């Protein structure tokens, strides 16, 4: 009867097949290669018909129609009841009544005749409209694309929540009590949306609940002026008015238009059924549009807001907090067939593996279920090879710096000669990325632990008093190095007085408030140069030293009048052909340039520059340049980069410094494959010739035969063959690349597994389980 397009039909069949295969299976420690080959063939992608991209509209239409039928049926039922004469009003036999004085008529009930005729669905639709209104404002402010799929999901979820809230606020007998409850919910919703808006406006990313609560007191204390400036800006005041407008309107007109009566049980059940129907419809829309995994296996707060709205993302975040293992698990990978890269063909020597021996059976004896899953995953990975660069830095000193908001886009041979020298005359990384996911503490976590901060702003704090066996502090401490960790801002900020004393540095951590105030003047931001000048005498004469710095001079805001570093170095940037905001950013980072100039000169003066390695990476991109929040809405960042920034990978592209004076005497070393911050730790472990197991890191030694893979917390990723954008759900092949069948799905699985591994690592003291007997 109906002619079905063959391409569309095959797409449906393949989709159903994939859904069956998507169930997670335990990771085998010794995967069968033949099984992998046969299963990998099944991952061959099918060209999607344009028809499927409109399937998300079908659940929307079906749900709206079904809800309308339910509402109409209940309304008709209520009308029929009203037409029925109540039992009490039926005529009784004539009885001569006793003459009594006619009482005065009672005052009408709180609900007048007009409101009595209203239906409970009025508030449900109003609440849904408020939520949709709030979501659209946030969507626009964040610069998320307004796709039909996201709009359908946001609308259906909001309708579901609207009916649910109606039911939950219809339990009081007094109508005013219900109205007050509803008004409070509308106002609290507005407040929460406003907080998330201001967080995104400041940090250019949405912070989940754990990150916001972990850093709230620090932010309000340290950046109070920034917060006030955001609130009283034109955009801030506009958003405040818009978000609280529905609460004001409801407070004014609720008594007239919202009966807010206590609902009978039947009506409550129908209201809940309608809510469930809407939410199920939104899930169907998500499945049809290809965003269903964001609800489960690929959940992250940022993408959930983009696809389903803040309300749903928050509920998913609560689920993650209450049931941290609900999304934990691994999928079958196919890494043995494709583990090596083009570098493998260049290697002429049969190198040993960077692998340690583990007795998996003995470890399983006293392991938790999560630890057993992590063991199975690690055991299933392929160890990377040692290589010609193994041990290149053996016995050398190490100075690591996480540089606040650093970007290599401001580096030039004329203005920043030291930064230019360290970037280009050390090991050069033209395709390096510093994924920004949890602010400064998230960037530090990636560099120090070689893991992604899957628990947001609490990730670093969770590692306090853990067995941090593989940090550079711990690894070099076992070799007898003396270690120090420094920061020139408040020592308790992000609880660094706790976290950074757990990193393996023998002399512990010093910040402003527990020693750094003797060397650094109190101003905002503080001077990196003063910190380096004050602390180098502590370690420069040690036989072997291992030092970590977290700098702060590059912190925003970059306005001349409010930033001590911008004012200090303004004369050196005032003639640059940039806006004042970008000039202020340059001026702040010239303090980092001066600090490194002093450091290198001092190392050369002591004759140890060729025996010392300097490593530097940013914590995140310079998000403080712009007031606007969304991708494509950051003019100052785009001015700095020289082009419009429209995706996360482009935004997070940066520079990595790995330099020692001895490298300047060698042929230039360039790593032109994609590299990210979580690759730093395994790469340094290999360069220093340390004993480590490459399988325990989600990143890679960049000189090994391991396949290059950069990925973000948002499930964006990049390899030598192409890149994937999770917001648009599109894979873009690299120029001239030949893409193997099933490649995109295979990398997606690997990324999901790596992020799940990072979650398991942060939720447990896994390295204590793995290395406790070493």
Rg of the chain (C-alpha set): 30
Inter-residue contact 503 to 471 (CB < 8 Å): yes
Q: Is 315 exposed, middle or buried (CB count within 10 Å of its CB: 0-12, 13-18, 19+)?
A: middle
Beta bridge partners of 549: 401, 486
Question: Which has the closest alpha carbon to 199: 215, 221, 188?
Answer: 215
What tokens were used for 494?
């992000």
DSSP sequence for 646-658:
-SHHHHHEE--EE
At 328 the pLDDT is 67
- Domains belonging to the chain, first-starting first, are 55-73+115-292+308-321 (no CATH), 392-712 (3.40.720.10)
What pLDDT is stored for residue 557 in this prediction? 87
- What is the pLDDT, as a whole number, of residue 743? 96
Residue 1: CB atoms within 10 A of its CB come to: 2
46: CB partners within 8 A, 6+ apart:
10, 11, 14
Q: What is the DSSP string of 351-368?
A: PPBS-----HHHHHHT--
CA distance 185 to 173: 18
CA distance to 58, 143, 722, 733, per residue, from 744 (Å): 27, 26, 9, 10
By residue count, the chain amounts to: 774
Give the distance from CA 82 to its chain's centroid. Answer: 54
Please tell me the predicted confidence (pLDDT) of residue 91.
Answer: 47
Q: Using alpha carbons, list the distances in angstroms from residue 510 to 238, 532, 613, 768.
A: 42, 13, 21, 26
Give the model's pLDDT for residue 333.
64
Which structure tokens are listed for 66?
Answer: 């079904």
Q: Which residue stretches of the chain have pLDDT < 50?
A: 1-56, 73-74, 77-101, 106-118, 335-345, 347
3-class DSSP assignment, residue 200: helix
Q: What is the pLDDT of residue 613?
A: 98
pTM of the model: 0.82
DSSP state of 525: S
Mean pLDDT, all residues of the chain = 85
Q: What is the pLDDT of residue 29?
A: 39
């Amino acid at each position: 009867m109906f002619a079905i397009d063959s391409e569309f039909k095959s797409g449906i069949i393949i989709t159903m097949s994939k859904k069956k295969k998507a169930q997670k299976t335990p990771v085998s420690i010794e995967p069968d290669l033949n099984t992998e080959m046969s299963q990998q063939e099944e991952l061959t992608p099918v060209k999607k018909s344009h028809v499927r991209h409109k399937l998300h509209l079908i659940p929307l239409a079906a749900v709206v129609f079904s809800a309308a039928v339910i509402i109409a049926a209940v309304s008709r039922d209520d009308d029929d009841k009203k037409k029925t004469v109540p039992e009490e009003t039926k005529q009784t036999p004539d009885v001569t009544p006793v003459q009594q004085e006619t009482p005065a008529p009672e005052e009408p009930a709180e609900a007048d005749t007009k409101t009595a005729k209203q239906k409970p669905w009025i508030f449900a639709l109003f609440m849904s409209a408020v939520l949709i209104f709030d979501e659209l404002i946030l969507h626009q402010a964040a610069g998320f694309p307004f796709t039909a799929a996201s709009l359908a999901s946001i609308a259906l979820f909001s309708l579901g929540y609207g009916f649910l809230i109606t039911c939950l606020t219809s339990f009081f007998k007094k109508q005013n009590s219900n109205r007050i409850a509803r008004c409070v919910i509308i106002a609290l919703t507005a407040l929460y949306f406003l907080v998330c808006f201001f967080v995104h406006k400041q940090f250019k990313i949405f912070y989940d609940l754990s990150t916001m609560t972990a850093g709230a007191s620090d932010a309000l204390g340290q950046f109070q002026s920034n917060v006030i400036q955001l609130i009283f800006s034109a955009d801030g005041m506009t958003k405040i008015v818009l978000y609280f407008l529905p609460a004001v309107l409801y407070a004014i007109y609720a008594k007239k238009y919202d009966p807010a009566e206590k609902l009978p049980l039947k009506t409550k059940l129908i209201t809940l059924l309608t809510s469930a129907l809407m939410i199920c419809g939104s899930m169907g829309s998500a499945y049809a549009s290809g965003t269903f995994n964001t609800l489960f296996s690929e959940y992250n707060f940022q993408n959930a807001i983009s696809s389903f709205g803040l309300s749903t993302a928050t509920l998913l975040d609560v689920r993650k907090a209450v049931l941290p293992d609900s999304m934990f698990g691994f999928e079958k990978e196919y890494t043995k067939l494709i583990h090596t890269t083009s570098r493998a063909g260049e290697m002429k020597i049969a190198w040993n593996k960077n692998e340690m021996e583990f007795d998996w059976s003995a470890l399983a004896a006293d392991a938790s279920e999560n630890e057993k899953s992590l063991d199975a995953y690690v055991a299933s990975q392929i160890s990377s090879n040692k290589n010609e660069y193994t041990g290149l830095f053996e016995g050398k000193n190490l100075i690591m710096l996480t540089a606040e908001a650093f970007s290599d886009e401001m580096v030039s041979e004329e203005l920043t000669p030291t930064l230019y020298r360290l970037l280009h005359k050390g090991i050069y990384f033209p395709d390096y990325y510093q994924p920004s996911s949890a602010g400064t503490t998230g960037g530090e976590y990636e560099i120090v632990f070689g893991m992604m901060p899957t628990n947001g702003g609490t990730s670093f704090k969770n590692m306090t008093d853990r067995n941090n066996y593989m940090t550079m502090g711990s690894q070099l401490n076992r070799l007898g190095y003396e270690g120090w960790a420094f920061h020139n801002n408040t020592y308790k900020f992000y609880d660094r007085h706790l976290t950074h004393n757990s990193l393996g540095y023998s002399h512990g951590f010093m910040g402003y408030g527990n020693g750094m105030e003797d060397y650094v003047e109190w101003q905002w931001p503080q001077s990196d140069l003063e910190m380096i000048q004050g602390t180098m005498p502590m370690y420069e004469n040690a036989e072997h030293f291992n030092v970590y710095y977290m700098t702060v001079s590059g912190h925003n805001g970059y306005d001349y009048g409010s930033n001590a570093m911008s004012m200090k170095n303004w004369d050196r940037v005032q003639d640059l052909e940039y806006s004042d905001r970008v000039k202020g950013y340059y001026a702040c980072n010239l303090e980092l340039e001066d600090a490194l100039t002093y450091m290198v000169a001092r190392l050369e003066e002591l004759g140890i520059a060729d025996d010392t390695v300097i490593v530097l990476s940013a914590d995140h991109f310079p998000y403080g340049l712009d007031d606007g929040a969304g991708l494509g809405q950051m003019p100052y960042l785009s001015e700095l980069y020289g082009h419009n920034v429209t995706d996360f990978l482009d935004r997070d592209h940066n520079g990595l410094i790995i330099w020692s004076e001895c490298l300047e005497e060698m042929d230039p070393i360039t790593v032109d494959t994609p590299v990210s911050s979580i690759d730093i730790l395994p790469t340094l472990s290999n360069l220093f010739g340390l004993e480590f197991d490459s399988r325990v890191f989600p990143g890679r030694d960049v000189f090994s035969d391991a396949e290059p893979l950069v990925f973000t917390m948002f499930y964006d990723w990049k390899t030598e063959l192409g890149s994937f954008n999770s917001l648009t759900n599109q894979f873009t092949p690299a120029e001239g690349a030949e893409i193997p069948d099933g490649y995109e799905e295979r990398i997606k699985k690997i990324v999901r597994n790596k992020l799940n591994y990072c979650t398991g690592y942060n939720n447990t003291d896994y390295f204590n389980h793995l290395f406790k007997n070493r």
